[in-house]
Structure formats: C-alpha cells, structure tokens
Amino acid sequence: MNEVSKNNVFDKSLFGQNFKWGVSTSAYQIEGAHDTGGKGNSIWDKFSEEKGRINNGHHGKITCDFYNRFEDDLKLIKELNIPNFRFSISWSRILPKGIGDVNQEGIDYYNKIIDSCIEKGIEPWITLYHWDLPHELEAKGGWTNRKIIYWFTEYVEICAHAFGDRVKHWMVLNEPMVFTGAGYFLGVHAPGKKGLSNFLPALHHAVLAQAQGIRVLKSIVANAEVGTTISCSHIEPYDSNLRNSLAAKRIDILVNRMFLEPLLGRGYPIIHKKLTAKLNKYILPGDEILMKADFDFIGIQNYTREIVKHSWYTPFLKAKIISADKRSVPITAMNWEIYPESIYNVLKQFGSYAEIKKIIITENGAAFNDTVVDEKVEDFHRKEFLENYLQQVLRARKEGVCVEGYFVWSLLDNFEWSEGFYPRFGIVHVDFETQKRTIKASGAWFKEFLK
C-alpha cells in the first residue's frame, strides 16, 4: 500500500503548485459540422461512409456538435475547475484540399475557441494532427507519399502564424503508431489500407513529419513549449519463458519506442533484421538527422498493459497479445485491462531516457457503459479508475520521474473511431439525440479534486 492510501488524503496539492491539470479532446471526435464553414472532407469523413467500417454505422458528421456549442462546453470546463484544455485542429478545416488556399472561416473558428479559453482563464493546448488527414491528400497517397512532409510543413506554418501569438503549448502528432498501424497496416481505421508496403513508408514519413513539425513551431512561435504524443502500454510477457520474454520485447519496441527513439537521435530500434531491411528502402541519405528534433516535452497516453506470448504465425514480430477478456482481469468497455500500475511503469520507462526533459500525461481515462438515471450518471468505477491511476502518477513523480502534467481523456462522450458512440470516455455525458450534457460523478469528483 502506498503512502497516499495509508494517509487516505489525496488532492492536487500533493503534485506541487506547477503541475498541469487538464482535459483532452480531438476535432473529429467532437466537432461535427463536417461540411460547414468551408471545411473539406477528411479521411474519416470518407471512411465513415463505407459500409461496415464503423460500429452500428455511426459517423462523426454531428457527434457532440462542439463546432456550434463550444462556448457552452468551455463554460463546463471552467465550472469543473479545469485550467488546461487540449484540443486538436482539423487540417481540412484550415486547408480544405490539404494544401493551397487557406479557409479563413476555419482560422476564425479556432481563433474564437482560443480567445474564449483565454477569457475564461483556460490555457489552450493544441494538437496539430489527430488522425483526420484531408481526403484529397490521401488521394495522392497520404502518409505513404513522402511529399506529405512538405504538405504538413505548410499546414504547421499556417497554424503557427495564425495561433502562435496566444498558444504556448503544442503537440505535433497524436499517437502516430496508432494512425499508421491501424490505418495503413491493419486497415481498421481510416484510410483503411493494409500491409507492410503501406505501413512502413507511412511510419517513416510520420517520423520525419513529427520532427519537422517541432522544428517549424519552435522557429515561428516565440517561447513555445512543443512536444508530441505517444500511445504507450506497459508490456509484459505471459510468463518467464524465454520466447515469451523476447516476444514482449519486440512488441515493446513497436508500441513504445518506434517513434520516440528516432526523435531522440537514436535511430530506429531493431525489431527484426528483415523488417529493418524493408524499412531501409524508404530512408534517404540525411534522414537520420531529420528524424531528430529538440522538443520540450513528450506526451504519453496510457490506458492499460498488454500481456504477450510468442507466436510462430506472426511475421517478424513472432508475438501475439493475449486479450484482457481471456485473462479474467477487470476490464473497461474497450476490453482493456484496468491496471493502474501500467501508468507508473511507462512513466518509469520513459523517464529513464536522459534526453526527455519533461513528460505530460496527455491522455488517461476509461470507457464504461454509462447511463443517465434521474438526471445523474453514477460512474464511480471511472472515479475509482482516475484516482487509482493518479496515485501511480504521484508514486512515479515522488521517485523522481519528470512528469509535470495530467490530462483526462475525455471531456465529453464522443465518436470513438471505429467503435462509434458505444464506448463512453467522457467525464461529461452526452445524449447524442438531444446534445444534452450531464456532468458525471467522475466529473464532479475531478472538480472537487481540482478545487
């Protein structure tokens, strides 16, 4: 039992005065207004139209209608005592075709959000790319086309000039291993491509864009705090068998290290020599220098741990993840294991890199099957989840890990990609028929915690 539990006293003061507390969202998951204000189509607009892609045929055309309701939702953030708000910019709302003519209505919209945040004493944190690539760029190859580095540079420059006078905190990419792996290898996310011939160039170009975005922001925005976010899971072998241990190491490289270590200047970690040879086809002379950038923080996004076994049938990785529902462990609506120590373990792992000066937890939360009863949502399981994970964050911080912020995922129940509206992550419930917001018990707890 840790010190916090012994004393039964747990509040934000334990983390120190300068610790950053916030809540996170993303444009496609909450904005709606898919064809409003000059916005062009994104890959998720198109992917959602394809039959069988999204659970129950759901789509993000309206979702939480944040586009029209942002003022009220920002008032909710203020009411919940949350001082920092992480949201993303929709690339296709700024550049409807991905490149070329700038959509002033899109610029004006995000300026309104930023200005409203500042008026309310809420610090805006911007994510530049949260998976919604303009469809017209995907038609040119998307992340598999090396030209995307130049397309992305143009987009970053526009955002930096438009918003950099008021926004200090920036994240370049959101979970690049997820959008390249799920979108360009497994095909379960937009744009629905499959295979190594799509995944490897997408991975490499995203690594280059990640570093380039950091350089561009730091060159334009004075005193900017710039980072990127990585989806991290604590990886453990199924048992002490050597093959299982080696399989777990390979999964750890893929999930936790593939985008981080090139950014640090260490190059790509090696999973398998043949896989490295295939990846090398896309690496041009000088790329190892271009993959590195001087960042201010790493955003880590942790929800669970994964248990790994050796598998002869998985090419290169020779590994498979044993799903949580087959292990008789507590799970969320996403079938993710509830394992608070996972966030402690990834903090220790990332904190061991000497090059990392600061860690911000840019996402942590849980999906459950929340319902409104008598105009209340008694999601005490989420409150318990948040409190237990935060205790592990405090444990790591007390041990010297440079973790300096924590953002809950998410403010609102939203469109959860291929899962549709079924998994509810919000600390605020959304009735997608009426758009009524109801603060959940977890939201009320977080409000008191931050008071």
pLDDT tens for each residue of 221-277:
999 999 999 999 999 999 999 999 999 999 999 999 999 999 999 999 999 999 999
| Model pLDDT, residue 149 | 98
Q: Does the structure show a pLDDT above 70 at 338?
A: yes
The mean per-residue pLDDT over the stretch 53-63 comes to 97
CA 215 to chain centre: 20
pLDDT of residue 6: 43
232 forms beta bridges with 302
Domain edges within the chain: 3-449
pTM (two decimals): 0.97
Give residue-wise pLDDT tens across range 105-159: 999 999 999 999 999 999 999 999 999 999 999 999 999 999 999 999 999 999 9
Q: Tokens for 82, please give them.
A: 């949350």
Q: In the predicted model, is pLDDT for residue 182 greater than 80?
A: yes
pLDDT, mean of residues 192-214: 98
| Residue 163, number of CB atoms within 10 A of its CB | 19
Percent of the chain topping pLDDT 90: 98
pLDDT in the model for residue 236: 98
Query: Are the beta carbons of 387 and 342 closer than 8 angstroms?
Result: no
pLDDT band at 1 (very low <50, low <70, confident <90, very high): very low
CATH, range 3-449: 3.20.20.80
Report which of 214, 207, 173, 179 is spatially closest to residue 283, judged by C-alpha positions: 207
**Any idea what DSSP says for residue 174?**
S
d(CA 377, CA 370): 7
- Residue 100: exposure state from Cβ atoms within 10 A (0-12, 13-18, ≥19): exposed
Residues labelled as active-site residues: 175, 363
Cβ–Cβ under 8 Å, residues 82 and 20: no
Largest Cα–Cα distance in the chain?
63
What pLDDT does residue 321 have?
Answer: 98
**Per-residue DSSP letter, 264:** T
Q: Find the helix packing angle between 176-184 and 196-220, rounded to 10°.
A: 150
Tell me the pLDDT of the chain averaged across its residues: 97
pLDDT tens figures, 274-326: 999 999 999 999 999 999 999 999 999 999 999 999 999 999 999 999 999 99
